[in-house]
Structure 1
């Protein structure tokens, strides 16, 4: 198989989302994935290790690693710590049991 024959990650996700069980789990973890991506981007943009970021925000490296895994949504208190220690902004909307970021 040639590299050009491989599907993109988005194509694979789009195909998998046709499965109701996958779609439910994908939707359940959307907020946690968004937070994870923001944390990873912040660390990359600022040349920080997980340990260095953890020290900045008063957490442990293992907490940062769990946040970056995107498996479980962070608490409001965790988002507040991240915001206070980094200046990151987390504008969220909670509607009908779903949590999402508000984008400007």
Structure 2
């Protein structure tokens, strides 16, 4: 198989979203994935390890690792700690049972 024959991650996800079980799980974890991506981006842009970030925000490395996994959405107090320790902003909209970030 050639590299050019491989599908992109986005193509694979779009195909998998046709499966109702996959789509339900994908949608359920959307907010957690958004938080995870923001944390990873912050760490890499600031050259921080998980441990260094954890110290900055008053958490443990294992909590940062769990947040970065994107499996479970963080609590509001956790987002507040991250914001206080890093200056990251989280504008959140909760509507009809869904949670999402809104443009600041």
Q: Judge same fold: TM > 0.5, yes or no.
A: yes
User: TM-score of the superposition, structure 2-length normalised?
Assistant: 0.99
SS of the equivalent of 1:80 reads: helix
**Displacement of 1:103 after TM fit?**
1.5
The correspondence of residues 26-41 of structure 1 with structure 2, limited to 5 A, is 26-41=26-41
Instruction: Give the length in aligned residue pairs.
Output: 104
Superposition misfits of 4+ residues, deviation over 2 angstroms: none
Q: Any gaps of 5 or more consecutive residues in structure 1?
A: none
What is the root-mean-square deviation in Å for CA atoms of aligned residues? 0.4
User: TM-score of the superposition, structure 1-length normalised?
Assistant: 0.99
SS of the equivalent of 1:99 reads: strand
Q: Deviations over 1:27-53 (max 9, x none)?
A: 000000000000000000000000000
Match of 2:42 in 1: 42
Q: Distance in 2 between matches of 1:13 and 1:25?
A: 12
Q: Distance in 2 between matches of 1:103 and 1:63?
A: 26
